Amino acid sequence: MYDPFKRGRFSVGVRTLQLHDRKRSLRTLAETWYPTAESHFGQDYATQKLDVYTLDETGESRTQEAVRDADAAQGPHPLVIYSHGTSRWKRRSATFLCAHLASHGYVVTALDHYEVVVPRATGDDLVNNRPADVSFLIDWMLAGVTNTGDIGIEPSRICAVGYSLGGWTVLSAPESEDRIRAVVAHAPTGGLKPRPGVFDGKLSFKWKREVPAMYLFAEDDTLTPFEGEKDLFKRAPAPKKSFVLRKADHMHFLDAVEEEHEFMRTTEWPEEMAFVAEELRPASELCSGSKAQTFTAALTLAHLDASLLWKDDARRWLGENVREKLLALGIDAYGSGRSAR
């Protein structure tokens, strides 16, 4: 039976890429997760084989369920572009999700976006360069340059997933990038009446083609309030679906949810964003990070399987009692609306 909650049949490899965009004179880093060859089977569960990396901002060591520089499984594989928000963790903001998708046969890649390389970037710079980052990364992965030559990509099966500002990015990208066939946006910015200090880029949804989209929202989101997200979803083109996670805030789509949430709650913010620390509830009063990650990974995978790979079992899974399936795992969530073609 189809079960997007479970890890896939592939072990997962991970590589760090050094990218050079000559058109914009930019150099940045990308992380790529991919299905491994059978010789690495089970190694992404073996403690001594798991990848250990360092967070640039804090110097902390983190572990992800992937094997560094493992041999790749034969392709071609569908490609997922993951776009991070303004998280401290940048391209590694959601390794739980990227590894989960890779275990199901996807190649997932995430770069450090423009503002990471150009720290003084303005809002206009982000509007112009974040969607350009997506197109550049697609070009790079299809070209098979540097150390990605053995990772086969299926050019007709490319999608984009993004969180927060990354959600805005993947919803903007189809206006200029017609290779994107499906989109998932987690707590995207761009909704009605953005809060002070939060990126306020507008979304016109002038997409070049029909792009099936899924929207995942947090019901108690402080930075991108749910009322504004409902307006965003209403304006978005069909086909589209959305799900809302109860007792969840903006950081419930990341790695180490509780740690990231408490960092946001205890940070001393500029005056215009003082509401963040004032309004965030303690993590102990909210949905657990493990349940939030299960919600995010399963629904993202099911949408991509249904919309990008046209899997009938994934379509049936999404169409039949999703709320009950989530509740069986202790996850309180609901669909906030559906719109077909």
Predicted local distance difference test score (pLDDT) of residue 87: 67
Judge whether 120 lies within some domain: yes
What is the domain-level CATH number for residue 329? Answer: 3.40.50.1820
Identify the pLDDT of residue 106: 98
Whether 3 is covered by a domain: the verdict is: no
CA–CA dist 329, 191 (Å, integer)? 30
Chain segment 10-69, per-residue pLDDT in tens: 999 999 999 999 999 999 999 999 999 999 999 888 888 999 999 877 888 999 999 999
Mean pLDDT of 127-142: 96
Residue 189 domain-assigned? yes
Tell me the mean pLDDT in the region 182-203.
94
State the total domains in the chain: 1
Q: Which of 322, 244, 332, 324 is nearest to 288 (CA)?
A: 332
Count the alpha carbons within 13 Å of 284 in the hemisphere toward its beta carbon.
Answer: 0
Residue 208 has pLDDT above 50, yes or no: yes
Cα dihedral sign for 192, 181, 97, 132? negative
2 domain-assigned = no
Host H or E run for residue 68? strand 61-68
What is d(CA 236, CA 224) in angstroms, rounded to the nearest whole number?
16
Instruction: Tell whether 1 is covered by a domain.
Output: no
**pLDDT at residue 119, as a whole number:** 84
**Residue-level pLDDT at 147:** 65
Nearest to 162 by CA among 247, 87, 100, 260: 87
User: Could you tell me the residue range of the domain that residue 166 belongs to?
Assistant: 12-339
pLDDT in tens, 246-295: 999 999 999 999 999 999 999 999 999 999 999 999 999 999 999 999 99
